[in-house]
Amino acid sequence: MQAKWISKKELKKLLTAWTKHYLVYAPIDNDHELAFQMVKEPARIVVDGYSNTRYPAKSLFLPQSEVLMKYDGILHSVENTEKEKILFGIRPCDAHAMQLLEHALVDVENPDLYWKQKRESAIVISKACIAPEETCFCTAVGGSPFNTADSDVLLVEMGEDYCVYVLTEKGISLCKELPDAEDTQLQAVKKLTKKVVGRMPVLLPKQELHNALMASFETEFWKDVSQSCLGCGVCTFLCPSCFCFDIVDETVRKERVRNWDTCMFRTYSLEASGHNPRPTKVERTRQRIMHKFAYWVDLIDEIGCTGCGRCVKYCPVNIDIREIAEKALHREFEGMKK
Ligand code: SF4
Ligand code: SF4
């Protein structure tokens, strides 16, 4: 890892220069709602003063709606036109989520080429969180607001400058002109890291939580925690590590399209016979939580939630995944009816 240094003014110039050679995606302010979009006017990039975008960056690699094939009697695959791009300003929790999605979409028998091509053509520049929101809990699930994993470059805002951690070959080629950070500057970054991380939630005991959730499976705990759920799906659509989709043939457009789907919808698990293994919000809420904190642990020994806090922040009825995990850990389901 290399540590470089750049002033805010110089970074803005660098961003503008990058837009001439790469497709740059960055947080853009659309009527006070930040979203990752392709940069057409570099002046509109929001560099500081935000914690996270409403939509996670996964939407650039697994779009909400994506044409997979076209057909006119026979199927035509859609040509790969991916160009090298820079994804600027993603948070460490979202970078980590992309790594989790690689397990689900790429490290499998039939890799998802649509995701893979987009992901491989991207250079990821993350930004450390120096002021995490109340809803952020990356440290509870093994992450950190300063996590360098899964990024090519990590920026840390330091007053009028940034410390630039260069983490991969892709990052080196992008930042080779920048001066090295000095020792005193790196000491200041370490101090800031300790201060911010010290205020964040402590690590959840992964295996203990997994075991508790498995033990709670058949109890009325799930009725209790899912009571107010509206089944709107916001928690999953906005989640950076959720990846469920449905594929439909649009006969008028003559296209095969992949659309985001969610396990929080009744029709998601409805079978052609009419049987539904998750007929109510009780089973659906249980599935969402178990998938994040138990099934991912079984599969890859990692929690499938990166603690971005979006599901907590945007749930219209304030269902809080942190509270459910805590309740399970405290075995509040014990004594509840089966
Ligand atoms: S966002 Fe809240 S109300 Fe909507 S499905 Fe998720 S838990 Fe239920
Ligand atoms: S489950 Fe919630 S907190 Fe965890 S990664 Fe998904 S949206 Fe973020």
In a domain, 127, yes or no: yes
At residue 124, the pLDDT reads 96
Q: How many domains does the chain have?
A: 2
Q: Look at residue 136 and tell me if it is in a domain.
A: yes
Residues 88 and 235 in one domain: no
Residue 107 neighbours by CB under 8 Å, 6+ apart: none
Residue 258's pLDDT is what? 96
Domain boundary among 170, 198, 226: 198
State mean pLDDT over 159-178: 94
How confident is the model at residue 34, as a pLDDT? 87
Does residue 80 sit within a domain? Answer: yes
Nearest CA to ligand 1 atom 6: 235
Q: State the pLDDT confidence band at 52, using cuts at 50, 70 and 90.
A: confident
Residues 101 and 18 reside in one and the same domain: yes
Question: How confident is the model over 118-147, as a mean pLDDT?
Answer: 95
Residue 63 belongs to some domain of the structure = yes
Give the number of the atom of ligand 2 that is nearest the alpha carbon of residue 309: 3
Mean pLDDT of 155-174: 95
Q: What ligand 2 atom has the least distance to the C-alpha of 97?
A: 5
At residue 186 the predicted structure's pLDDT band, cuts being 50, 70 and 90, is very high
- Condensed to tens digits (0 to 9), the pLDDT of residues 286-318 reads 999 999 999 999 999 999 999 999 999 999 999
Domain presence at residue 92: yes
1-45, pLDDT tens digit by residue?
Answer: 899 999 999 999 999 999 988 999 999 988 778 889 999 888 888
CB 141 within 8 A of CB 112: no
Are residues 263 and 288 in contact, defined by beta-carbon separation less than 8 angstroms?
yes
Taking the C-alpha atoms of residue 154 and residue 193, their distance in angstroms, rounded to an integer, is: 13
Q: What is the predicted pLDDT for the residue at 42?
A: 87
- Do 176 and 97 share a domain, yes or no? yes
Is 164's pLDDT higher than 90? yes
Mean pLDDT of the residues in the chain: 93
Instruction: Give the residue whose CA is nearest to atom 4 of ligand 2.
Output: 305
Q: Output the six-digit token pair for 292.
A: 């994040």
Instruction: Give, using CA atoms, the residue closest to atom 8 of ligand 2.
Output: 308
The model's pTM is: 0.93
What is the per-residue pLDDT for 128?
A: 96
**Ligand 1 atom closest to residue 262's alpha carbon, by position in its atom list:** 5
165-174 contacts at long range (C-beta below 8 A, 24 or more positions apart): 165/1, 165/2, 165/3, 165/4, 166/1, 166/2, 166/3, 166/4, 167/1, 170/123, 171/123, 171/125, 172/2, 174/18, 174/86, 174/123, 174/125
Q: How far is CA 298 from CA 111, 143, 180, in A?
A: 21, 19, 42
> CA of 252: how far to CAs of 71, 245, 249, 261, in Å?
11, 21, 9, 21
- Predicted local distance difference test score (pLDDT) of residue 80: 67
**Nearest Cα to 99, choosing from 119, 117, 118, 125?**
119
In a domain, 336, yes or no: no
- pLDDT number for residue 278: 95
- Looking at the structure, tell me whether residues 262 and 129 fall in a common domain: no
Residue 215 CB burial class (10 angstroms; 0-12, 13-18, ≥19): middle
Q: Is residue 338 part of a domain?
A: no
The best mutation among 311, 312, 313 to test binding of ligand 2, ranked by most ligand atoms within 8 Å of the C-beta, falls on: 311
What gap in Å lies between CA 77 and CA 89, rounded to an integer?
Answer: 32
Q: Which atom of ligand 2 is nearest to the CA of 292?
A: 1
Taking the C-alpha atoms of residue 293 and residue 87, their distance in angstroms, rounded to an integer, is 28
Average the pLDDT over 157-174 and give the result: 95
Same-domain check for residues 222 and 146: no
Strands in 75-77's sheet, in edge-to-edge order, are 75-77, 65-71, 255-260, 245-250
Whole-number CA gyration radius for the chain: 21
* pLDDT recorded at residue 46: 87
Give the rounded percent of residues in the chain with a pLDDT score beyond 70. Answer: 98
Hey, what long-range contacts does 24-27 have (CB within 8 A, 24 or more apart)?
Answer: 24/85, 24/86, 24/88, 25/57, 25/60, 25/85, 25/86, 25/87, 25/88, 26/87, 26/88, 26/89, 27/53, 27/88, 27/89
Residues 51, 78, single domain; the answer is yes
Q: Give the model confidence (pLDDT) of 209-263 as tens digits.
A: 999 999 999 999 999 999 999 999 999 999 999 999 999 999 898 999 999 999 9
274 in any annotated domain? yes
> Containing domain of residue 86, as a range?
2-198
Confidence band, pLDDT 50/70/90 cuts, at residue 82 = low
The answer to whether 231 and 284 are in contact (CB under 8 A) is yes
**Residue 145, ligand 2, Cβ within 6 A:** no
Centre of ligand 2 to C-alpha 76, Å, is: 36
CB-ligand 1 contact for 264 (6 Å cutoff): yes
